A and B are shown apart, each in its own frame.
Chain A
């Protein structure tokens, strides 16, 4: 659970740390040394930029590209001058070999430094990542056993059936009294914990749905080997629908309001889902949760219209749910989830993540945009237009306005003629951010947009990198300016190893990736390797977990330690933009002319 620090959580993690120190029998994956030359450990597309970064002093100014297995030097180049981050004591030099485009297996050799990890230059170089990132959502499924045929060695028993979740007093109504049970089965576990939160589910599901909407033909061919996949339904939709069905159940059909979360009173211990028996509750309805359902259900409705045989009635159900939720929100336009206040009025105190957003203008804008794109109705246009002056920012669970911009731009041709002109405003607002990124990236010490600013290194910094890349890809899609695409790929290079830590931050991807994520299943399953395809939070200068880090530098504030919830947790809203970016690059690389 991210960004939601609490004293109870602190106590829990002190206990966790003690368990780890005294040697809880968690198998350890084989340790690999950290690289001294930092680059994308998966590799590079032939037609896109390629570079490596060093932070130590070389004996000269040159570098070589060595072909594997021949050992022959196939390219030589000069290192850049020293670059400063501006926010840390670290200085970098960049080895740029973008001019070399021949497919193969290579390493970078720099005199006085050493050799880089071996990497590939190839088409489809991120195919494994693209599939693993999506499959990671399957491994997060609640209320479901994971069969060996689909989960491999990470198969497990079902946990958290959530078919009789209790109504918390904060959620009680005449029709659903406190202590009565409702079915809110399915959905994804949010992160390293086993709770399910509407607002984080919203952005995560929407990002997967948007990936499909932007690249529908590509996703028809992407197979992640999921159970119960329906004929001609892309796996990304199969997986998104697993969470969508949970989100729909979180709506009270009597009034349309949506509960904020399905949760234990406190976090589960570091145990497997099947061992977790604590009672579960749905907690207080809220405006943010409700508008998240509006947006996701409206988007899902227009997508599922194309799959009437596979999902009979689901598109209509989604549309109805979205409208019902919208109408509830109109009556409750500012109902925040204040967990601290709620706990003062109930004996059933909740100490899990709050996701306590208090400003709902961005949720209103996003929800209106999705309903407008789906229905074309004037009331949603007015609600969206009324909020068009608002500044938009990089998305996060509490800041979702720009998600509606992406959808409006994408659905331009589906909008009623009289509403289409405003997409030019939306494009300009998106481009104002994208152009700022391009400038920052060119001067950045790591050759990427990510890491060009100290403010990048927040809790879940790796999702900053991926959401920046999503924004840049959106900018590319409506401008066809390849600079945006190259910058997006640069951020993926950062995630996969071209960063100060030398880690590829996705489990199971690259030569040096996290093996001890803050993730209950990976910790408790007794399997050495963590669940693959999960993006960990990454360097976080806040270091809220109180652990001892080896460096004070912001970009090195990372620990591959299961107790490091501030830098090494995983989360669905971090993986979703990873899925978008990896698959978008795979798709666009297949259309080679677009990126050469």
Chain B
């Protein structure tokens, strides 16, 4: 019994620290990511030797990339984070238009649950800046879709150090 508890604790501890995003630093270029115009670049990065760059010259379009991250069963609290740098990103017609970091919750069969939730929206010029969101995972959520996009704006967006970690309730409460 004591061994089981110890193993559970170790497993939880390991799980709690693990970044569930595959290739979140883009060191393997865009492996693990579904992209609709992203490019891995060695010229601009926050850490390591690479980042992902999104460019758009057409403010009528949505360009970006995403990764669906499977959650361990019964996950209750997660921390999502990324570093973003933007160059000459214009303001769109809507308030929410910009260089976006958002996520969606997916249920069984990757069915979308509710609406996408914005973590960051940046415009203009901005050096590398970390963004993060601690979130309570609603029951029935099997995976999280992390999205980065230039949402109906022109400009360049760089993304690096993308992470999604399972955290404890105590860690979650630090973000309240």
Chain A residues proximal to chain B, CB less than 8 Å: 382, 385-389, 421-422, 424-425, 428-429, 432
A167 nearest CB across to chain B (Å): 35
Contacts A425-B176, A432-B176 given: A389-B135 contact, CB under 8 Å? yes
Choose among B136, B140, B169 the residue that contacts A389 (Cβ–Cβ < 8 A). Answer: B136
Question: Which B residues, 104 to 138, have Cβ-Cβ distances below 8 Å to chain A?
Answer: 135-136, 138
Choose among A386, A421, A429 the residue that contacts B138 (Cβ–Cβ < 8 A). Answer: A386
Label chain A's interface by main secondary structure: helix
Are B173 and A424 interface neighbours, CB within 8 A? Answer: yes
21 contacts between A and B (CB under 8 A): A382-B140, A385-B76, A385-B136, A385-B139, A386-B139, A387-B138, A388-B136, A389-B135, A389-B136, A389-B138, A421-B169, A422-B169, A424-B169, A424-B173, A425-B169, A425-B173, A425-B176, A428-B173, A428-B176, A429-B176, A432-B176
CA separation between A154 and B173, bound complex, in Å? 53
B172 within 8 A of partner (CB): yes
Q: A432 contacts which chain B residues (CB < 8 A)?
A: 176
CA separation between A385 and B135, bound complex, in Å? 11
A104 nearest CB across to chain B (Å): 45
Q: B138 contacts which chain A residues (CB < 8 A)?
A: 385-387, 389
CA separation between A592 and B138, bound complex, in Å? 44
B141 nearest CB across to chain A (Å): 9
B78 nearest CB across to chain A (Å): 11
CA separation between A389 and B136, bound complex, in Å? 6
Closest B-chain residue to A361, C-beta based? B114
Chain B residues proximal to chain A, CB less than 8 Å: 76, 135-136, 138-140, 169, 172-173, 176
Are A425 and B172 interface neighbours, CB within 8 A? Answer: yes
Closest A-chain residue to B117, C-beta based? A389
CA separation between A421 and B169, bound complex, in Å? 8
CA separation between A428 and B174, bound complex, in Å? 10
CA separation between A385 and B76, bound complex, in Å? 9
Known contacts A382-B139, A429-B176; 5 further A-B pairs (Cβ under 8 A): A385-B139, A386-B140, A389-B135, A421-B169, A424-B173
CA separation between A337 and B176, bound complex, in Å? 34
A574 nearest CB across to chain B (Å): 30
Closest A-chain residue to B113, C-beta based? A386
Closest A-chain residue to B174, C-beta based? A428
A138 nearest CB across to chain B (Å): 41
Closest A-chain residue to B133, C-beta based? A389
Closest A-chain residue to B175, C-beta based? A428
Closest A-chain residue to B76, C-beta based? A385
With a 10 A CB-CB cut-off, give which of B135, B140, B172, B176 has the most chain A CB atoms.
Answer: B176
B8 nearest CB across to chain A (Å): 15
A294 nearest CB across to chain B (Å): 19
Q: B139 contacts which chain A residues (CB < 8 A)?
A: 382, 385-386
B17 nearest CB across to chain A (Å): 21
B36 nearest CB across to chain A (Å): 28
Q: B176 contacts which chain A residues (CB < 8 A)?
A: 425, 428-429, 432
CA separation between A387 and B139, bound complex, in Å? 10
Q: A425 contacts which chain B residues (CB < 8 A)?
A: 136, 169, 172-173, 176
Closest B-chain residue to A390, C-beta based? B136
CA separation between A421 and B170, bound complex, in Å? 10
CA separation between A388 and B134, bound complex, in Å? 12
Q: B140 contacts which chain A residues (CB < 8 A)?
A: 382, 386
CA separation between A555 and B11, bound complex, in Å? 58
CA separation between A424 and B169, bound complex, in Å? 9
Q: A386 contacts which chain B residues (CB < 8 A)?
A: 138-140
CA separation between A428 and B176, bound complex, in Å? 7
Q: A421 contacts which chain B residues (CB < 8 A)?
A: 169
CA separation between A382 and B172, bound complex, in Å? 18
Closest B-chain residue to A387, C-beta based? B138
Q: A424 contacts which chain B residues (CB < 8 A)?
A: 169, 173
What 4 A-B pairs come out closest when comparing CB atoms? A386-B138, A382-B139, A428-B176, A388-B136
CA separation between A386 and B172, bound complex, in Å? 15
Q: B173 contacts which chain A residues (CB < 8 A)?
A: 424-425, 428
Q: A429 contacts which chain B residues (CB < 8 A)?
A: 176
CA separation between A111 and B5, bound complex, in Å? 74
B12 nearest CB across to chain A (Å): 15
CA separation between A386 and B135, bound complex, in Å? 11
CA separation between A421 and B135, bound complex, in Å? 16
With a 10 A CB-CB cut-off, give which of A388, A421, A429, A432 has the most chain B CB atoms.
Answer: A388
CA separation between A527 and B169, bound complex, in Å? 59
B75 nearest CB across to chain A (Å): 12
CA separation between A388 and B175, bound complex, in Å? 14
